[in-house]
Amino acid sequence: MTSPLLHAENLRIEFTLPARQSQSQVLRVLQGLSLNLQAGEIGCLLGPSGCGKTTLLRAIAGFQKVQAGEIRLRGNVIASAHHHTPPEHRQIGLVFQEYALFPHLTIADNVAFGLQRLLKPARQARVDAMLSLVGLSAHAHKFPHELSGGQQQRVALARALAPQPTLLLLDEPFSNLDVALRERLSLEVRNILKEANATAILVTHDQQEAFAVADQVGVMHEGRILQWDTPYHLYHQPNSRFVADFVGQGVFVPGRIPAPSEAAGHTTAQVDIEIGALVMAEASAAQSADVSTIPEAASTSAARSKAQEVDVLLRPDDITHDDASPLQAEVVKKVFRGADFVYTLKLSSGQLILANVPSHHNHAIGEKIGIKLDADHVVTFPRISLPTPSATGLSH
């Protein structure tokens, strides 16, 4: 594999808070954080408020010093405990949540702002190319207040991309926009970044946005990245309960992996749950272990001699509705989402599960409906006791 364009290793950042009584307190914001981003990739930082996303972005940009670890850009150290390349020498572009355009400059002059070192014809050509890339050529001579929020954010993107930065950082760039526009713009921004062959990191609170824009998503928790992976793997192969809980919807149900002696002759690992058996081929289990995406997960039969009690992650798309199925569950809650419902269903044990059901199957609360288990990815964690079998902890 080629060396990453951005490499952060074991970053530590702490803030000393003013003394309340006699002693000052140290707030550890990044604690041994590492990540790699390849050239041309879009990475996204996702995590609860206060987990350190903006602090990491500021450290990469050069507005925040690091106490330990290092950041390399194209192989060169730009930040460590002993070295700090000033922001203006890092060739990093920034797009913020508030578009920060110059109100007294035209759109074209805003985009030209970082291009002073170019001669006029080259500058003009670059501005034209950037405005065409973001689809705003017809607005070159307007002023920012004459454009919509989404258009202004595209100008901010054009301005940041114009000097061809090595890396582009976007801090919640869509959070000032309404939901429909956010969705459209996030796809547009992905296309623009890909067309410009830019490498970028985006911070967001919105996982749909992260999934729509990013090649790799890092789920952060308490100053660390717990999993840096494709959106597909984060959803289907979360490496920890936190990631499983934070990304997407789902519930944990109790399961049992039989001892190898009980499963003699089987070439597959099996997990038994209340509504059936989930089967995972040995080969794919070994593969997952190789790439260490599920270190917290329960081991498969090769490493065990006894049966194992586990918690199994069931996503709403692991359960399908089938009127003909003898397996029944009671509808206790339903959320209409246009194309589908998310039903909360109660099994005979009282265990709650979630199911995505096409919205023409409109069943009433209290009704029993036929369901089938249809899971492709089996994710298990060592059993912990939960207070009650409920789906609430995992619904976002």
Ligand X SMILES: Nc1ncnc2c1ncn2[C@@H]1O[C@H](COP(=O)(O)OP(=O)(O)OP(=O)(O)O)[C@@H](O)[C@H]1O
**Number of amino acids touching ligand X (CB under 6 A):** 12
Minimum CB separation of residue 145 from ligand X in Å reads 27
Report long-range pairs for 278-281 (Cβ below 8 Å, ≥24 apart): 278/312, 278/373, 278/375, 278/378, 279/378, 280/378
Q: Which is nearer to ligand X, 220 or 297 (CB)?
A: 220
Cβ–Cβ under 8 Å, residues 107 and 51: no
C-beta of 224 vs 363, nearer to ligand X: 224
Smallest distance from ligand X to CB 386, Å: 27
Question: What is the rounded CA–CA span in Å between residue 390 and residue 333?
Answer: 12
Minimum CB–partner distance for residue 175 and ligand X (Å): 10
Binding of ligand X by 258 (CB under 6 A): no
Interaction with ligand X in 337-356: which residues (CB under 6 A)?
none
CA-based nearest residue to 170, from 138, 135, 201, 124 = 201
* Shortest distance in whole angstroms from residue 69 CB to ligand X: 16
28/74 with CB nearer ligand X? 28
Concatenating the DSSP letter of every residue in 324-341 gives T-S-EEEEEEEEE-SSEE
Closest to ligand X by CB, 64 vs 237, is: 64
Nearer to ligand X, 52 or 316 (CB): 52
* Binders of ligand X in range 289-318 (CB under 6 A): none
Cα-based angle 31, 226, 62 (whole degrees, multiple of 5): 50
Give the nearest distance from C-beta 99 to ligand X in angstroms: 18
DSSP track, 357-383: EETT--PPTT-EEEEEE--SS--EEE-
User: Would you say 33 or 73 has its CB closer to ligand X?
Assistant: 33
Contact track, ligand X, 187-226, x by CB under 6 A: ------------------x---------------------
Site string for ligand X, 161-180 (x = CB under 6 A): --------------------
Distances (CA, A) of 191 to 102, 185, 395: 25, 10, 30
CA angle 219, 256, 261 (to 5 degrees): 125
Per CB under 6 A, contacts with ligand X among 16-75 are 27, 29, 47, 49-55
Beta bridge partner(s), residue 79: 71, 84
Q: How far is the CB of 14 from ligand X (least distance, A)?
A: 9
Pairing verdict, β 308-314 and 380-382: antiparallel
CB atoms within 10 A of CB 333: 16
Near ligand X by CB under 6 A: residue from 15, 63, 102, 232 = 15
Smallest distance from ligand X to CB 46, Å:
10
Residues of this chain that interact with ligand X (CB under 6 A) are 15, 27, 29, 47, 49-55, 205
